[in-house]
Structure 1
Amino acid sequence: MTRRPPTLSDVARRAGVSYATADRVVNGRAGVSEKTSRSVHAAIEALGYVRNVAAANLSQQRVYRFGIILPAGSNAFFRRVQALFDEAASRLKADRISLSIESVEAFDAQALTGKMAALAEARMDGVAVVASDDPRTTAAIAELRARNIPVVTLVSDVPSSQRDAYVGIDNVVAGRTVGRLIGMAHGGRAGRVLPVVGAPSARDHAERLSGMREVLGSAFELAPVVEGRDRFELVETLVREALSRDPEITAIYSAGAGNAGLVRVLEALPPGTARPYVFLHELVPHSRRALEDGLIDVIIDQRPEEEVARVVEHLTLLADRRALLRTDPIVPTIFVRENLPQEPAGALERAG
């Protein structure tokens, strides 16, 4: 005869508590002493009780409420990410998942932490955030966790914080990859690389440059770093000035956004001018056009569709206090002109 699985009533009897108290412990609600909580958990382990999350959610008519915080502005990559979250929000309503998609100005730690505090007050079931590596951000993540709200960092990690998980590529490895590609492009010759970042506080940008430096070695010099704040008009101005005053630059590595400005500089080079080798991140309409037209050489894409899917998966599992299915970094795709995928229908060319 098959033995029936243990129920929550069995757990309550073994622990010597009421069903309501056992239910509070299993579902992580407050109002139970530490001693009682230990007794319930001991009973769970002894009986091999497994919480039926789907049944519990159905009986409670639970709706998952997740907050997503993305950078605002002209960044084409994050516009793409927001569009993907918007699509997911519409699709996931049938699964009782509600996504609240918020935006703040890029690299504005005060605005970001203010938004995180608002989501903490709203008692979200989980928060995903593109975070800067700033003490205020770390404190805001700690406050969310103190309220038992899971936190997932997206694209740029804050490993020193109490975040539950990171979703994105390994940015150091991405930088090393670019370093290897720069060396191959130069064919053993020395070179001078112009790095372009959004801001020093953007950990993903800093890690990409660090990885590149590890691989390049002494044969390459680095020009002063351009800090474009991920704004295409500022990137355009600063890169044009850098190329004008430093004709020895042989390669450009844009570790951030604002690359529509970089493309404009390359388009405006006088006929017959030997352009630098150019490596940048994210397959968006303007970077695709530049690759097709031979203005740039390589795009490193972090597969935003996979990132959005993993964020929703992670937040749902964390809200249910279950183990994450995948914690490995997303493997980026390297695009050259010859392996570009078919352009999505309705893609629009915008600055970013």
Structure 2
Amino acid sequence: MAEVQLKGVTKTFGPDVALNNVTMTIPDGSFVVLLGPTGAGKTTTLRMVSGLDKPDSGQVSIGGRDMAGLTPAQRNVAMVFQQYSLYPHLTVRQNLEFPLKSPLLKTPQADIDRKVEETAEILQISHKLNNKATALSGGEMQRVSIGRALVRDPSVYLMDEPLSSLDAKLRADLRVELKSIQADSGATLLYVTHDQIEAMTMATHVGVLDNGSLVQFGAPREIYENPVSIYAASRLGQPRINVLPADIFGGAPSGALNIGLRPEQIIQGEGEDSFVQRVEHLGDQTRLHLTFKSHDIITVTDAHTELKSGDIVQIRPHNPFYFDASGARLA
């Protein structure tokens, strides 16, 4: 595996700036998730690393080697896309073998057979090896798609929202499997998603992108607990961070326009009165939808709470975040 570096990478498509001077280091053996909404620059970053697109300026290096002018095959990267990208007329075994039969790799057949069997066992599709791809379920097809990357030994794995088209249970199952595979193999993996749960559960590092700019890069917990801006704070956390006028509780620092409160930053049972509008029982937790001084707040409480709509709950902030007029975090 290898460290990946982007230095001052900029990419435009006509008048649109897809990436704006992005500098980022993806450590060797890390699981890096690029997080942000549609249009943030996530997939473009992936395409810069893969060689599918070329930057207008800046440098991409893998393992300390400048990738300028090198094709995706020469960069030794393996990609997994949102769509399955399988050959429908081939069996699962043949689909898994296909990347290893490249003339560039010259892989002996015995090694191909071994890698296919090992990968199929890891992804729990050994019993499907002789099935045509068209006979598989959506989840099985995505496992094969992921397997086509895993059979190789690339410098870096690149994955573009590979789980987004699956149902909730399959997504949860494959999240666990992907993280386990990455951790066991020590692979360097760059993963694109807009799903913050995937970022929080799988990533060693998260890169938060906004309109082509890298807003913050760090461990998921670091970004959650120490966001640099309202935007970064809103990318992680469920329920989303509450953003309210800075002086709603009093005591705001100079220059603050907004206060940010995650559920654990709201102390219940003391402070000022808020009104319960709705109670959502989710099994392991209960969400409270509150109204406080005409503002909506969502927080969580004990799973077995007896609170109900119309009740009054006293609340106060605890170690809140404050943001200035630009949305930047105040110390």
Provide TM-score, normalisation by structure 2: 0.25
Higher strand share: 2
Higher helix share: 1
| Greater relative contact order (Cα < 8 A, sep 6+) | 2
